[in-house]
Amino acid sequence: MSTHDLVIRAGTVVDGTGTAGWTADVAVDGGRISAVGRVAARGRREIDAAGALVTPGFVDIHTHYDGQATWDRQLAPSSWHGVTTAVMGNCGVGFAPVRPADHQRLIELMEGVEDIPGAALHEGLTWAWETFPQYLDDLDGHDRDLDLGAQVPHGALRLHVMGERGAARQPATPDDIAAMAELAKEAIEAGALGFTTSRTMNHRSSRGELTPTLTAEADELIGIAEALGSIGAGVLQVVSDFQDVDHEFAILRAMAARSGRPISISVAQSPLAPEQWKDLLDRMAEATAEGVTMRGQVGARAVGLLLGFETTLNPFMMAPRWAELKDLPPAARAARLCREDVRRALVDNVSADRQSSLIGGRLIAKFHLMFPLGDPPDYEPDPASSVAAMAERQGRSPAEVAYDVLLGDGATALLYMPTLNYVDGSLDAVGAQLRHPASVAGLSDGGAHVGTICDVSFPTTLLQWWGRDRPSGRLPVELLVHKQTQATAQTVGLLDRGVLAPGYRGDVNVIDFDRLGLHAPEIRYDLPAGGRRLVQRADGYVHTFVAGTEIRADGESTAATPGRLVRGAQPAPTPA
């Protein structure tokens, strides 16, 4: 009897297609699934998965590891949350193509838009490339734990072709558009998965400059999209404010329709337009039914800011005294914060940063939106537990209450401020988004917002909260797994993964579903130049395999690096 490389036995297989789970064995040979069902032959390695979920590895299509992937063998924290394929280059920001004179500007754009420390990028990036194909070659030369896909960012294209005119958001000429289109086509032919752009006022450089792509006109966007269409390859990704929904959606639909390439668009519930998300997803579903493939990337919970004495934002950062505290070593700062004179200097001088270019900087005095996060973290807090509500019950000022919360755990405790997807103090809209046929799981921003947001744990929340713990409105586990595996893989053209069936990639999670849970985010100083980042651990991931090689076991890295750069769309396996 033949022997398999790996056999995972008697788990509840949730295969990624949306089919309900069933008890089965999974065999892996040569990095691919070779059998699902009753596997008689033994494996060189055998895993008893009785009582556990066995799922495809998660495919996270919205990350920003564009810098980290050039220096780090582990794409953490994504790998801590069952992710086996990460796609970066989203939101129009990245590091290629680039002229040497534009290194600083691209760092400032990434630092401002995605809150990645500029010092870390300066030290970590080698800039051993100018063109996008050269950037891919550099990525291809690094071993890593996860598979990685890259997309070509509009911001870098604009700067490369238009220089200062592009940075100043001037209209592109026909020659500019032709040059950007040719570079985008070159990137796709070299292995980029798609082209991405940003049309939101929230995206600014660290100097406060609006993203270069904000006001790009329809002819520019459609011209670049049509370049992808001319070679029949690549996907499109967009984030937009949708201030004029009809006009904006028409442009994005035209990009997909004129190019014949699928598009995915970030979707969340805004307190300024609480029902707009549904209109957008309905429009996408209608377009797809008419042959223009459009999908909405949605989150697993609120998009939430984290405020603390070690993070980028805190309610006291505008007080003059904070300037002498912010750069102190953590232990020294914690000691100072316990002094009464420091407390009074901060609490008595709370104000909003009304000129801030930081994402969330103008919200730091809105105590009615802030909640103690706790450990384990509470991502759907009762509005009655807000800092403002606590202060009213205690007869104290909200600033006093916030200060005491943040002093917890040696001044490392966090306040949570849900900004999107939390209208009326509920995640009901998220559940409806996840159920919508036009949606796929996304928006984790792995590798980004390292001082303000830690949504990299979205895949864990998706299963834990929506599949098990939410008091009402829970969703079928098979739907949740599908949204994070086959659906996401199809969105970016990776048809060789996201399903547990013969011929597909041997990317597999074995999950103790009863034990699945999150720890509170924590700060680590492990980026280049000692840069700071938020990370978040999870329990319950018993085994994670990439191409049949185990990269995580019981929450710890195995140090294996089977991950590779995925160049271009991948076809589905041919049925035997």
Q: Are 67 and 121 in contact (CB under 8 A)?
A: yes
Beta strands in 104-259 (DSSP E): 147-149, 152-153, 194-199, 235-240
Q: What is the mean pLDDT of residues 155-184?
A: 97
At residue 269, the pLDDT reads: 98
In tens, the pLDDT along 324-344 reads 999 999 999 999 999 999 999
Distance CA 357, CA 484 (A): 32
At residue 14, the pLDDT reads: 98
Distance CA 127, CA 94 (A): 12
Numbered ranges of CATH 2.30.40.10 in the chain: 4-55+506-557
Chain mean pLDDT for the chain? 96
At residue 207, the pLDDT reads: 87
- Model confidence at 197, pLDDT cuts 50, 70, 90, reads very high
At residue 334, the pLDDT reads: 97
The 3-class SS string of 101-121 reads: HHHHHHHHHHHHHHCCCHHHH
Closest CA to 535 of 322, 343, 310: 310
Q: Are 64 and 91 in contact (CB under 8 A)?
A: yes
Helices (H), 115-173: 118-124, 132-140, 154-162, 164-167
- Model confidence at 464, pLDDT cuts 50, 70, 90, reads very high
Q: What is the mean pLDDT of residues 452-458?
A: 97
Q: Are 416 and 377 in contact (CB under 8 A)?
A: yes
Q: What is the mean pLDDT of residues 106-121?
A: 92
Closest CA to 457 of 76, 14, 54, 74: 76
At residue 355, the pLDDT reads: 61
Q: Are 434 and 480 in contact (CB under 8 A)?
A: yes
At residue 118, the pLDDT reads: 94
Distance CA 12, CA 514 (A): 13
Closest CA to 352 of 297, 315, 400: 315
In tens, the pLDDT along 241-297 reads 999 999 999 999 999 999 999 999 999 999 999 999 999 999 999 999 999 999 999
Numbered ranges of CATH 3.20.20.140 in the chain: 59-274+286-295+441-491
Kindly tell me if the per-residue pLDDT of 576 is higher than 70. Answer: no
Q: Two tokens at 563?
A: 């991950």
CATH superfamily label, 59-274+286-295+441-491: Metal-dependent hydrolases (3.20.20.140)
Distance CA 396, CA 388 (A): 9
Classify domain 4-55+506-557 at the CATH topology level.
Urease, subunit C; domain 1 (2.30.40)
Q: Are 289 and 434 in contact (CB under 8 A)?
A: no
Q: Are 304 and 418 in contact (CB under 8 A)?
A: yes
Q: What percent of the chain clears pLDDT 70, i.e. is strictly above it?
A: 99
Q: Are 30 and 548 in contact (CB under 8 A)?
A: yes
In tens, the pLDDT along 19-49 reads 999 999 999 999 999 999 999 999 999 999 9
Q: How far is CA 209 from CA 170, 187, 320, 353, in A?
A: 13, 27, 25, 17
pTM of the model: 0.97
